[in-house]
Amino acid sequence: MNLSIPQDIVIEILSWLPVKSLMRFKCVTKFFNSLVFKSNFTDIHRCRSLTRSGGKKLFLHGSKFYFTSDPQKEDGINSASILQIESFGELSFYIHVDPRLNCVNDLFLLWQPLSVQPATILNPSTREVKLLPSLIEGFSSCHYSLDFEPEEKKYKVLLTAKYDQEGYTKNRPRICINGVIYRFVFHRGLLDIAEFDVKTENSKLIALGDALHGWSYEFIELKGKLVVIDYVTRSHEYIHLLVLEQTRKEKEWKSHIIQLPSTWNTLTW
């Protein structure tokens, strides 16, 4: 008697496998090969992989990529090896001066702000490398942002290229939250935030006013909300947080102060 496992049970089992094991099943049947690329399955697999302890870390050192192996316990101590990703060696031509990295859902976007060489998308799990179209020469600098649009389940890349020396854009990492890309910009002499909706491809400005007090600040995400960390340059006493809250009528900034431990007074920024 020929017994077969129901398809929904097979999908459930595969969704719990590590990526390395999952890739081996691609050659078993056409169904397995197509399954690993379906957005619904990858969403489930990604969520479940986040519940597992450990996880790999990706490093860029010079023109070489490395990743950490699965942690192993030896003599009661957890340790992990650092291994090179050989298949990424072909990228050495594009990684030489001042590279930039952007990560969304375990996909990495790599580019150089002052180079006409194409940006590159890396998938460390599958070792796949995809080159984006080359830029037209003549720009003075460029910046890429990779984001995932959750409703349409599409990845999109936003390119901002500057073709003259007028104006100034803050060289700070951007952040992608729920299908929206945020970046620091100068507008009419004031520091603001540009908001770009990946789905509608519309943009608008968010005013910061005089909320920031220094030049050391970064974006982070907190429970799906945009947060600006104002480090208050050279202060060892506190960190200033600005959380973008949605009210009934509009968005507004809420200020929070985090006191730092007194033992941090000896640190050098």
Range of the domain at 18: 7-49
Query: How many structural domains is the chain composed of?
Result: 2
Q: Which residue has the higher pLDDT, 152 or 79?
A: 152
Q: How confident is the model at residue 171 (pLDDT cuts 50, 70, 90)?
A: low
Position 92 in a domain = no
Give residue-wise pLDDT tens across range 178-192.
888 888 887 777 788
**pLDDT reported for residue 256:** 86
- Average pLDDT of the residues in 156-165: 74
Position 44 in a domain = yes
Give residue-wise pLDDT tens across range 26-79.
777 788 777 877 767 777 776 766 555 555 666 666 667 776 666 666 666 766
How buried is residue 146: exposed, middle or buried, by Cβ count under 10 Å (0-12/13-18/19+)? buried
Q: How confident is the model at residue 94 (pLDDT cuts 50, 70, 90)?
A: low
Position 180 in a domain = no
Position 101 in a domain = no
In angstroms, the CA 96 to CA 26 distance is: 35
Position 45 in a domain = yes
Position 95 in a domain = no
Q: Which residue has the higher pLDDT, 249 or 93?
A: 249
Give residue-wise pLDDT tens across range 190-222.
788 888 888 888 888 888 877 666 567 788 888
**pLDDT reported for residue 145:** 84
How buried is residue 193: exposed, middle or buried, by Cβ count under 10 Å (0-12/13-18/19+)? buried
In angstroms, the CA 260 to CA 237 distance is: 5
In angstroms, the CA 172 to CA 231 distance is: 14
Q: What DSSP string describes the chain?
A: ------HHHHHHHHTTS-HHHHHHGGGT-HHHHHHTT-HHHHHHHHHHHTTSS----EEEETTEEEEEPPPEEETTEEE--EEE-GGGGGGGGT-SSS-EEEEETTEEEEE-TT--SPPEEEETTTTEEEEPPPPPS--SEEEEEEEEETTTTEEEEEEEEE-SSSS-------EEETTEEEEEEEETTEEEEEEEETTT--EEEEE-TT---SS-EEEEEETTEEEEEE--TT-SSEEEEEEEEE-SS-EEEEEEEEEPPGGGGG---
Position 125 in a domain = no
- Residue 244 pairs in a beta bridge with 253
Give residue-wise pLDDT tens across range 249-260.
778 888 888 887
**pLDDT reported for residue 104:** 80
- Average pLDDT of the residues in 83-102: 62
Position 37 in a domain = yes
